[in-house]
Structure 1
Amino acid sequence: MSPEIRAAEPALLPASEQARIHRRTLTVVVLSQVLGGAGLAAGISVGALLAQDMLGTASLSGLPTGLFTLGSALAAFLVGRSTQRLGRRLGLASGFLAGGLGAFGVVIAAVSGSVVLLFISLFVYGSGTATNLQARYAGTDLAQPHRRGFGTSMAMVATTVGAVAGPNLIEPLGALAEIVGVPTLAGPFLLAAAAYSAAALVLFAFLRPDPFLLARRIVSAAESGTDSTPDGEAPRVGIGAYVGATVMVLTQVVMVAIMTMTPIHMRAHHHDMAAVGLVIGLHVGSMWLPSLFTGALVDRVGRTPMVIASGVILLLAAGLAATAPGDSLGLLILALMLLGVGWNIGLIAGTALVVDATVPQNRPRTQGTIDVLIALAGAGGGAMSGVVVSASSYQALSLGGGVLALALIPVLLWARTRHAVRA
Structure 2
Amino acid sequence: MTTESTLGGRGLTEDQRARLQRRTVLTLMITQVVGGIGMGSMLAVGALIARDLTGSDTWSGMATTMITLGAAVFALPLASIATRRGRRPGLALGWAMGGVGSSVVIAATVMEWFVPFLVGMVLIGAGTATNLQARHAAADLAGEGTRGRDLSVVVWATTVGAVLGPNLIGVGGRVAALVGLPELLGPVLFTTAGFALGAALTLVLLRPDPLLASAARVDAPGAGPSTAVPTRRSPLSGLPEVTGNPRALLAIVGIVASHTVMVAVMTMTPVHMSHHGVALTVVGLTLSLHIAGMYAFSPLVGWLTDRLGRVPVLLAGQGVLLTAVAVAGTAGDDEARVTLGLVLLGLGWSFGLVSGSTLLAESVPDAVRPRVQGLSDLLMNLGGASAGAMSGVVLTQAGFGGLNLFAALFTLPVVVLAVRALVAGRGGDAGTS
TM over 0.5, yes or no?
Answer: yes
Residue number in structure 2 paired with 1:247: 254
C-alpha separation in 2, matches of 1:411 and 1:263: 33
Shift of 1:187: 1.4
Confirm or deny that 1:292 pairs with 2:299: yes
Letter in 1 for 2:33: V
State the Cα deviation string for residues 94-125 of structure 1 (Å, max 9, x = none). 01100111011111111111112101101111
Partner of 2:57: helix, strand, or coil? coil
Residue number in structure 2 paired with 1:359: 365
Partner of 1:393: helix, strand, or coil? helix
Structure 2: any 5+ residue segments left out of the alignment?
1-6, 218-224, 229-236
State how 1:290-329 maps to structure 2 within 5 Å: 290-326=297-333, 328-329=334-335
C-alpha separation in 1, matches of 2:168 and 2:226: 52
Residue number in structure 2 paired with 1:375: 381
State how 1:203-282 maps to structure 2 within 5 Å: 203-217=202-216, 236=241, 238-282=245-289
Residue number in structure 1 paired with 2:404: 398
Shift of 1:325: 2.8
Conserved? CA contact 2:290–2:342, under 8 Å: yes
Conserved? CA contact 2:215–2:226, under 8 Å: no
C-alpha separation in 1, matches of 2:325 and 2:55: 28
State the Cα deviation string for residues 257-297 of structure 1 (Å, max 9, x = none). 10001000000000000000000001011101111211111
Shift of 1:416: 4.2
- What TM-score, normalized to structure 2? 0.90
Partner of 1:90: helix, strand, or coil? helix
Partner of 2:367: helix, strand, or coil? coil
Confirm or deny that 1:348 pairs with 2:354: yes
Conserved? CA contact 1:216–1:360, under 8 Å: no
- Stretch deviating more after TM superposition (160-169 or 177-186): 177-186
C-alpha separation in 2, matches of 1:146 and 1:393: 45
Shift of 1:389: 0.5
Tell me: CA distance 1:226–1:186, structure 2 relative to 1, closer, same or farther (3 Å): closer
Conserved? CA contact 1:163–1:284, under 8 Å: yes
- Stretch deviating more after TM superposition (359-368 or 371-380): 359-368
Shift of 1:205: 0.8
Conserved? CA contact 1:101–1:193, under 8 Å: yes
- What TM-score, normalized to structure 1? 0.92
Tell me: CA distance 1:76–1:23, structure 2 relative to 1, closer, same or farther (3 Å): same
Residue number in structure 2 paired with 1:230: none
Tell me: CA distance 1:115–1:216, structure 2 relative to 1, closer, same or farther (3 Å): same
C-alpha separation in 1, matches of 2:205 and 2:329: 46
State the Cα deviation string for residues 193-237 of structure 1 (Å, max 9, x = none). 11011001111111111000111238xxxxx9889xxxxx99945
How many pairs does the alignment contain? 405
Letter in 1 for 2:84: R
Letter in 1 for 2:272: H
Residue number in structure 1 paired with 2:57: 58
Conserved? CA contact 1:22–1:143, under 8 Å: yes
Residue number in structure 1 paired with 2:3: none
- Stretch deviating more after TM superposition (411-420 or 92-101): 411-420
Conserved? CA contact 1:317–1:402, under 8 Å: no
Shift of 1:175: 2.1
Letter in 1 for 2:150: G
Shift of 1:333: 1.3
Letter in 2 for 1:180: V
Letter in 2 for 1:380: S
C-alpha separation in 1, matches of 2:70 and 2:317: 26
Conserved? CA contact 2:259–2:380, under 8 Å: yes
C-alpha separation in 2, matches of 1:301 and 1:275: 37
Shift of 1:18: 1.0
Shift of 1:408: 2.0
C-alpha separation in 2, matches of 1:13 and 1:317: 45
Residue number in structure 1 paired with 2:4: none
Letter in 2 for 1:118: F
C-alpha separation in 2, matches of 1:249 and 1:225: 31
Conserved? CA contact 2:10–2:215, under 8 Å: no
State the Cα deviation string for residues 298-332 of structure 1 (Å, max 9, x = none). 00011121111101110110000111131x22111
Conserved? CA contact 1:215–1:360, under 8 Å: no
Shift of 1:11: 4.5
C-alpha separation in 2, matches of 1:319 and 1:86: 45
- Stretch deviating more after TM superposition (336-345 or 144-153): 144-153
Residue number in structure 1 paired with 2:105: 106
Conserved? CA contact 1:240–1:356, under 8 Å: no
Q: What is the RMSD computed on CA atoms of the aligned residues?
A: 2.1
C-alpha separation in 2, matches of 1:58 and 1:11: 55
C-alpha separation in 1, matches of 2:52 and 2:418: 42
Shift of 1:42: 2.5
Conserved? CA contact 1:63–1:382, under 8 Å: yes
Shift of 1:417: 4.6
Residue number in structure 2 paired with 1:124: 123
State the Cα deviation string for residues 150-181 of structure 1 (Å, max 9, x = none). 11101111100000000011121022112211
State the Cα deviation string for residues 368-414 of structure 1 (Å, max 9, x = none). 11100001000001110001011120110012222332432112123
Conserved? CA contact 2:241–2:372, under 8 Å: no
C-alpha separation in 2, matches of 1:399 and 1:111: 37
Structure 1: any 5+ residue segments left out of the alignment?
1-7, 219-223, 228-232
C-alpha separation in 2, matches of 1:113 and 1:344: 36
Conserved? CA contact 2:34–2:161, under 8 Å: yes
Residue number in structure 1 paired with 2:231: none
Conserved? CA contact 1:171–1:273, under 8 Å: no
Partner of 2:165: helix, strand, or coil? helix
